[in-house]
Amino acid sequence: MQYKNKVVWIIGASSGIGAALAKQFAQQQALLILTARNSDKLDILAKELKALTSCIVLPADITRRDTLHIIVEDSLRVYGHIDILVHSAGIGQRSLAIDTGISVYNQLMDVNFFGPLTITQYLLPHFQQRGAGHIVAVGSMSGLMGFPGRSGYVAAKHALKGYFETLQVEHTIPHFYITIVSPGRVNTPLPLSALTADGRPYNKMDHAQLNGIPVDVCAQKILSGITRKKKHIIIARKERWLYWLRLLLPATYYRMARKAGIQERDQEVL
């Protein structure tokens, strides 16, 4: 029960990796704050978890940057402080760069980068005052290399990694940790809400996503990385090879990444 009574704020808790992490922290009797836009989904999850621990729902849209200072103040009022902040909110993309509207890029950057950045900026003075804290930033393997059909998502995840990696090497808070998580494909509904060229949701799953790492396994690996205060964890299957190829045999990476994008388009399922 390492996390018993630790206050954990999970943003992006209504689904997928965030919801799975909430369940694992609840089993450890952490005190939870759950945030996302869909308050119905959050309420259902909170009801389930309340059998195990205290669980407060704090709905928010992290793209509404002008409201985020209020959300952060509200989050601090719930239990008086935050021990661990998990940024798991995110939105995917399924469109080629040439077709993609600028407003789609704005949305991808807002959810995947500016939202987590703004909340972190508002919360940093709290961690500084306490001399402690832990931020978990769920990035992506797409934050480590390019991938077809994801130009805005890849850009946002690179920005997220760049921001948190810089914070890792510049902060002076004594017991403050940042864990950057770079998952490959995880079996979650992420493609359903992924933005297409005109901003409409993709609304489909693809084979690769359905065959991704089970979300509970991913959450368990994240929890283990938090416990070990890891600076960066990659949770992936064969996408990991693409990453190493890019470093060691770049020409092969460029060929294989292009091929992977073409295969993905050929394998869409409803």
Ligand X SMILES: NC(=O)c1ccc[n+]([C@@H]2O[C@H](COP(=O)([O-])OP(=O)(O)OC[C@H]3O[C@@H](n4cnc5c(N)ncnc54)[C@H](OP(=O)(O)O)[C@@H]3O)[C@@H](O)[C@H]2O)c1
User: What's the closest the beta carbon of residue 12 comes to ligand X, in angstroms?
Assistant: 3
**If binding means CB under 6 A, how many residues of this protein chain bind ligand X?**
30
Q: Are 68 and 111 in contact (CB under 8 A)?
A: no
Amino acid at 81: H
Supply the minimum distance, in Å, between the C-beta of residue 118 and ligand X.
11
Residues in the chain: 270
**What are the angstrom distances between the C-alpha of 100 and each of 40, 92, 178, 260, 270?**
31, 13, 33, 20, 22
Q: Any idea which residue has 């470093």 for tokens? A: 247
Q: How far is the CB of 25 from ligand X (least distance, A)?
A: 15
| Residue of 153, 177, 202, 253 marked active site | 153
Please name the residue ranges forming H helices in 175-249: 190-193, 207-210, 215-227, 239-248
Q: Of 121, 193, 199, 240, which one interacts with ligand X (CB under 6 A)?
A: 193
From 8-16, 49-57, 126-134, 171-179, span contacting ligand X (CB under 6 A): 8-16
Decide if residue 136 touches ligand X (CB under 6 A): no
Degrees (nearest 5) of the Cα angle 19, 23, 29? Answer: 135
Distance separating alpha carbons of residues 90 and 165, to the nearest angstrom: 19
Among 45, 57, 108, 111, binds ligand X (CB under 6 A): 111
Residue 38 near ligand X by CB under 6 A: yes
* Binding flag, residue 89, ligand X (CB under 6 A): yes
Is position 153 annotated as part of the catalytic site?
yes
Q: Which residues of this chain interact with ligand X, rule CB under 6 A?
A: 12-18, 36-38, 41, 60-63, 88-91, 111, 138, 140, 183, 185-186, 188-190, 193, 212
Catalytic residues: 153
